[in-house]
Amino acid sequence: MQVHTVRDLGSAVREARAKRGLTQVELARRAGVSREWLVRLEQGHPRLEAQLVLDTLEAAGVSLTTEETDSSRQDETEAAWDQVFSNLAERSPADEEPGPGRFSDG
């Protein structure tokens, strides 16, 4: 399962707990947290202590693996925006053609 949000992480813990036949009380005891804290994790609460989250993942039998995302796509996007902004910076108001609401000096 790919985890992109805290809610996804909570779902992974809940699924692992259910798969192992553990109650919230049992998993909380194994992880050294309260049942209420575990409920908040399973619901995707955004502000939980990272070490307790990791301890709970271990107690639930869930491993956490990290990998780098493809940064080349992000680099291409950033380069495109840089080009747009550099083009805007190079233009001056004098470069623009007079249009409706604009006056010519000549």
Per-residue pLDDT reduced to its tens digit, 21-55: 999 999 999 999 999 999 999 999 989 999 999 99
Does the structural domain 6-60 have CATH classification 1.10.260.40? yes
Is the pTM for the entire model greater than 0.85?
A: no
Q: Which two tokens stand for residue 61?
A: 């039998």
H helices present in the chain, as ranges? 6-19, 24-31, 35-42, 50-60, 71-90
User: How far, in Å, CA of 38 to CA of 56, rounded?
Assistant: 8
Confidence grade of residue 60 (pLDDT, cut at 50, 70, 90): very high
pLDDT of 61 over the 60 cut: yes
pLDDT value, residue 86: 72
User: How far, in Å, CA of 56 to CA of 63, rounded?
Assistant: 10
Q: Where are the domains of the chain?
A: 6-60
Task: Report the SS3 class of residue 91.
Answer: coil
More confident residue, 56 or 85: 56
pLDDT value, residue 76: 73
Give the other-Cβ count within 10 Å of 82's Cβ.
Answer: 10
pLDDT value, residue 87: 65
User: How far, in Å, CA of 43 to CA of 40, rounded?
Assistant: 5
pLDDT of 90 over the 70 cut: no
